[in-house]
A and B are shown apart, each in its own frame.
Chain A
Amino acid sequence: MKARARVRSQHGFTLAELLVACAVIAFVMAGLLTMLQSGQQSYLVGSRQIEAQQNLRVAIDRMVDEIRNAGFCPTCETLPVTANCPNTPTVGNTTPVRGFAAILPDNTNPATKVTIQNDWDGSGAINTVSTVNYTVVGADGTPTTTQRGEQITYTYNAGTGTLTRQEVIIDATPVTLVTGITSLSFTYFDVGNPVNPNGNTTATSQCIRSVGISMTTQPSVQGQATMQGKILVTMGDTVRLRNRSN
């Protein structure tokens, strides 16, 4: 009886009731929005972090793979001695190094530009004017030949934040590997100590046995400039040159 009376009632909500309801809903929605916004923010931070890390990985992995292989020199035993390099620190002697340098740091910007040299065709010299044959013999004895360049140059441009790779002759212009790099530096080591090739002759380059890379990137869209929103990822690696380990 009472319920019927209420249903039949033609009275609406009072203004006060409506305002209270609106205020409550607004309050709830505002809370929800804040939650959503912070969720969205976290998501963006995470995805930007991933993007930056992924960029770094690709770049470092690529460089490390090629630096590890640097100095491929089938005829080095027969080439003339080009430098006498430090041996293990306790021996206090030198090891003669023959042929070309595996790693050629840029004379003026050794920390940001490096050239990797491989004598893929076993000619005893680095060919910078044409591509050379690179042959791999398969399990069935069939050789597969591709064309390779004997110099690969990695350059970091601080102005544009890009890292480029150029394989001589194969790439007419430098190919951008990653963007958004805020800092990149190469360091060089002989058998145990850092080598500073800045302004030095190639004799120093001959002695390089390992290369260290340290690189910092940011995502293509950087978040707010607050501590929470800004993403900077730094990674480093040191790689020993497998073809120059003696």
Chain B
Amino acid sequence: MNRWRTVLGNERGVALVLALMILLTLTGLVLAFLSASAFEPQISRNLSETARARYLAEAGLEVGYNALIATSDANSSWTGLLASATTSSPWVILSTPTTPGPSVALNAVSLPGLDSASGIYTVSVRNDYQASDSAITGVALGTETVTTDANRIVIMRATGTYNNATKTLEVVVKRLALPPTPGAVNIPGTQADTYVNTQQFEIDGRDYGCSSNCSVDASWSVDASNPAKYALSTNTGTQSNVGVTYEARVESAFGTSGSCDANCSTNKKDSVRGKDQTNPTGTTTGLNTIAADSALTPSKMATFLAQLATYPGTQIFQSTKACPMKLNGSGSQPNRPTLVNNNGGTGGASCTMNQTLDLGDRDNPKLVYFRGELDSSSSFTGLQVGTNASDPSIRGAGILVVEDGDFKQMTNFKWDGLVIVTGRYVGAGFMTSSTTTIRGAFLANETMAGEANGYFEFYLNALANKFTVRSSKQNLDMVQQMRGLHSMSSWREI
């Protein structure tokens, strides 16, 4: 009894009990609060990890796109990539190109300069062979199979992974194939009026290549391993308004006429060289390398140009009769001339365009597209290059298109790739004191039948300094692998 009283009456130690109780309560509160706040960083971590995974996937798409652009087979398709695909495993891991190399399989790779702790991505492609694929490619199912890419369209998928987050993106990649060019100079349209009033020119269908220092003309030499093309090729058939074949129409420019005597005619014929139409494995000079060829038809040109004009990323410069466009050389940078649109149009002071235009170089070829407007009098110049021989020279690489307007070359002009003059009432004129070098192919494509005589599709002025077109598979391949001929569309997150 006394002992109990002693215990009950003793208040020593109560402070500890009270302190413990209070501590417990406070700890409980703090813990509850902490757990709620720990939830918040987790949510934001998830969010940031998902964003990083998506960025990795987007990086993968870009790397994959570059790999696809650099990969091509003889048909400009991606069939070569798809060899290992099967219907139960249609996706093929992409690899980076061997040049500059080394080739790396894009399977769980990390970003350049980072390790896998910063996330990884995987890129694969498959052909658009499934019935449902037209809904994402926009193209009806053709002869595609899981391993055969006939339409130059593939579906690419990139998956980015960062910690626990994964994102997969899918795009459709398309390639626009260049039209075949049977000649160094091609006049495939509905008219082939040709005027050659100089002996200072060289049109060579033999294949030219270059291994190094390609900006220097002397580095280019005949590569006999690639077949030669005609010097000039035309549409097959007869030009309706004159009743002679297109081929004869071109050949007539190499005969004697006016002040051009037999000697002059021989010189002109000797200036064209290429595949011999009577002996297709050999080469020749003269009229036998001016031939009609069905490989390039007006409809093929029309299809290509329509696709080119509507291609995502193709930027078209509009030249008008009011404000016709002209390139002025800039001196220090021949491939960055100034584009103006005050070249004698009716627009006067309202034509204020004055900008530097990048015409590209062999490392970074460009698609430069000028569109004019219909001029049934055939006198509208859609694009003029320079003013005279004393202008700074202009050069570029890629594809130069002048549509619905004349192309008038008046200065020192050099182009690696394709130069295309196309449309209604058009012509390409190489004028007084101009010096022109085109390595690749030149196309003058009139689409309007019955344009009046005297308006030439291909015109070499008597006083042109030098006009040179050399066929070059190397440059045409370079153009085929331009970014501008590829597109990435139908982006979706899956």
Contact = CB atoms under 8 A, between A and B. Distances in A.
A42 B307 CA distance: 64
A122 B136 contact: yes
A130 interface: no
A51 B411 CA distance: 70
Contacts, number: 119
A69 B29 contact: no
Contact of A77 (B90, B307, B318): B307
Interface string B245-275: 0000000000000000000000000000000
A175 interface: no
A165 to B, nearest CB: 17
A242 to B, nearest CB: 4
B353 A47 contact: no
A138 B281 CA distance: 50
Interface in B126-143: 126, 130, 132-139
Contact of B40 (A50, A75, A91): A50
Given A78-B138, A137-B130, A43 B33 contact: yes
Contacts of B493: 65, 68-69
Interface string B101-143: 0000000000000000000000000100010111111110000
A240 to B, nearest CB: 11
Contacts of B350: none
Interface in A34-48: 35-36, 39-40, 42-43, 46-47
Say what secondary structure dominates the interface of chain A. Answer: mixed
Q: How large is the interface on A (under 10, 10 to 19, 20 to 34, 35 or more residues)?
A: 35 or more
Given A61-B47, A76-B489, A133-B135, A139 B318 contact: no
Contacts of A136: 170, 494
B43 A143 contact: no
A233 to B, nearest CB: 12
B278 interface: no
A53 B40 CA distance: 9
A121 interface: yes
Interface stretch (A92-100, A199-207, A217-225): A92-100
Interface string B80-113: 0000001111110000000000000000000000
Nearest to B37: A46
B310 A98 contact: yes
Contact of B6 (A7, A35, A121): A7
B310 A57 contact: no
Nearest to A136: B494
A140 B43 CA distance: 33
Contact of B172 (A7, A39, A74, A143): A74
Say what secondary structure dominates the interface of chain B. Answer: mixed
Given A53-B40, A61-B47, A141-B89, A243 B491 contact: yes
Q: How large is the interface on B (under 10, 10 to 19, 20 to 34, 35 or more residues)?
A: 35 or more
Which residue among A42, A46, A77, A136 has the maximum number of chain B CB atoms within 10 Å of its CB?
A77
Nearest to B46: A57
A69 B36 contact: no
A57 B89 CA distance: 37
A173 interface: no
Contacts of B295: none
B310 A74 contact: no
B312 interface: yes
A75 B310 contact: no
B22 interface: yes
B243 interface: no
B307 A43 contact: no
A47 B36 contact: yes
B91 A139 contact: yes
Contact of A141 (B37, B44, B47, B90): B90
A140 B88 contact: yes
A43 B29 contact: yes
Contact of A93 (B29, B36, B315): B315
Given A90-B355, A141-B88, A122 B138 contact: yes
Nearest to A50: B40
A95 B32 CA distance: 57
A120 interface: yes
A42 B490 contact: no
A143 B132 contact: yes
Interface of B: 2, 5-6, 9, 22, 25-26, 29, 32-33, 36-37, 39-40, 43-44, 47, 86-91, 126, 130, 132-139, 146, 155, 170, 172, 307, 310-313, 315-318, 353, 355, 487, 489-494
10 contacts: A7-B5, A39-B26, A50-B37, A50-B39, A54-B43, A72-B491, A74-B135, A92-B355, A122-B138, A139-B91
Given A50-B39, A77-B311, A93-B315, 13 more contacts: A50-B37, A61-B47, A69-B492, A72-B490, A72-B492, A74-B136, A74-B137, A77-B307, A77-B312, A77-B487, A124-B138, A141-B87, A141-B90
Going nearest first, the 9 A-B pairs with the smallest beta carbon separation are A74-B138, A75-B138, A135-B132, A242-B491, A122-B135, A246-B312, A141-B90, A77-B310, A43-B33
